[in-house]
Amino acid sequence: MAEPVISIANLSRRFGEKIALNSVDLAMPRGAVYGLVGANGAGKTTLIKHILGLLQAESGSVRIFGLDPVAEPVSVLSRIGYLSEENDLPGWMRVDELIRYSRAFYKNWDDAYAEELRQRFALDPAAKIKTLSKGQKSRAGLLIALAYRPELLVLDEPSSGLDPIVRRDILGAVMRTIADEGRTVLFSSHLLDEVEQVADHVTMIRQGSIVMSAPLDDIKASHSGRSLDEIFVSLVGAPNT
């Protein structure tokens, strides 16, 4: 059996008194789209930050491509594309400068693909990042996360930044293409209809604990074909915020 792209065992993390992650176990094999769902503050971003090596495991272990992302950040990060929820692209850069700067870090950067994405996302190369709308900034972030065809694409709440048209017409198609090429997508969201449309596998998280992790079809089958929204409410017991 192929080694999982993401392998997390017994991961726990506290911030002061608050338990952010509680004995999380997760294994994500290659070549699928994984939806990480949970209410705001459930621990989705904390889990993603552990995957990226931005947080160190207090207990348990995190392995990405079989490597520790904290001990070997360069080897891990060069294979991950990441779209941050924070929209922290440097405002002083122009779009073309952002592309030029980002391409220096990735051997597999594909200029033609980057240009194709830029045109598809309708980004003016001479525009400063700070003059872009929130949606355009997210598109720019997505461009630099995709242009080197990463083995693992991690999207933290892409729905909060991208406008509905990009989400529906572009993001879904991009995720499917990546999965079809044998690469992996992990995206977090609290919009369950969106997760239902594109994810092959769903992991639900509540108060730092994984309450369910299974293929979407299995989840639906075991819950008599109910929608993901209804299943989420029945499992998590709280409204989807």
Partner 1 sequence: MQSAAAAFAWEFGWPRRWIPVAIGVYLVAHGLLKPLLLGSGATVDLGDGYIAFALVPFSFTFMYFIAVFSFGLNGDLAARQSIFPSRLFTLPVSSAELARWPMVYGLAAMSMLWVIARIAAWWPLALDLPIVWPGMMMAVVLAWTQVFMWMPYGFRGLRVALAVTVLIALDTLVILAINYKTSEAALVAFLAPQLPLAYFCACLVVARARRGVVPDWHMFSRARRDEAATSLSPFRSMAAAQVWFEWRRNGRSLPVLVALVLPFELFMLFVGGFGSAGFVFEVLIAVLFTPIAMAGFTAATVSKANPFARDPYGVTPFTATKPITSVALIAAKLKMAMWSTFAAWVLILLFIPIGFSWSGADAVLIEWWRSFVDQVGMPRAVVAAVLVLGGLMLGTWMMLVQSLFVGLAGREWLIKTSGFAGLVFLMVIGPIFESIVESTAALRWLWNYWGLFPAILVVLKVTAAIVIARRLSRSGLIGDRAIVAGAASWAASVFVLYGVFVWWADTSLLPRYLFLLIAILAVPLVRISAAPLALDWNRHR
Shortest separation between residue 105's beta carbon and partner 1, angstroms: 5
- Which string of DSSP letters, residue by residue, matches 60-107? EEEEETTB-TTT-HHHHHTTEEEE-TT----TTSBHHHHHHHHHTT-T
Contact mark string toward partner 1, 34..73, x via CB under 8 A: ------------------xxxxx-------------xx-x
Does 125 bind partner 1 (CB under 8 A)? Our answer is yes
Does 126 bind partner 1 (CB under 8 A)? Our answer is yes
Which residue in 89, 152, 166, 192 binds partner 1 (CB under 8 A)? Answer: 89
Shortest separation between residue 49's beta carbon and partner 1, angstroms: 8
- Which string of DSSP letters, residue by residue, matches 197-217? HH-SEEEEEETTEEEEEEEHH
What 3-state class would DSSP assign to 190?
coil
Shortest separation between residue 214's beta carbon and partner 1, angstroms: 29
Q: Are strands 6-15 and 152-156 parallel, antiparallel or unpaired?
A: unpaired
Does 158 bind partner 1 (CB under 8 A)? Our answer is no
Q: Closer to partner 1 at the Cβ: 61 or 222?
A: 61
What 3-state class would DSSP assign to 153?
strand
Q: Are 21 and 46 in contact (CB under 8 A)?
A: yes
Does 82 bind partner 1 (CB under 8 A)? Our answer is yes
Phi-psi category of residue 179: left, alpha or beta, with phi > 0 → left and psi -120 to 50 → alpha: alpha
Does 180 bind partner 1 (CB under 8 A)? Our answer is no
Q: Are 30 and 185 in contact (CB under 8 A)?
A: no
Q: Of how many residues is the chain composed?
A: 241
Shortest separation between residue 171's beta carbon and partner 1, angstroms: 19
Does 100 bind partner 1 (CB under 8 A)? Our answer is yes
* Residues binding partner 1 (CB under 8 A): 52-56, 70-71, 73-78, 80, 82, 84, 86, 88-94, 96-97, 100-101, 103-106, 125-126, 130
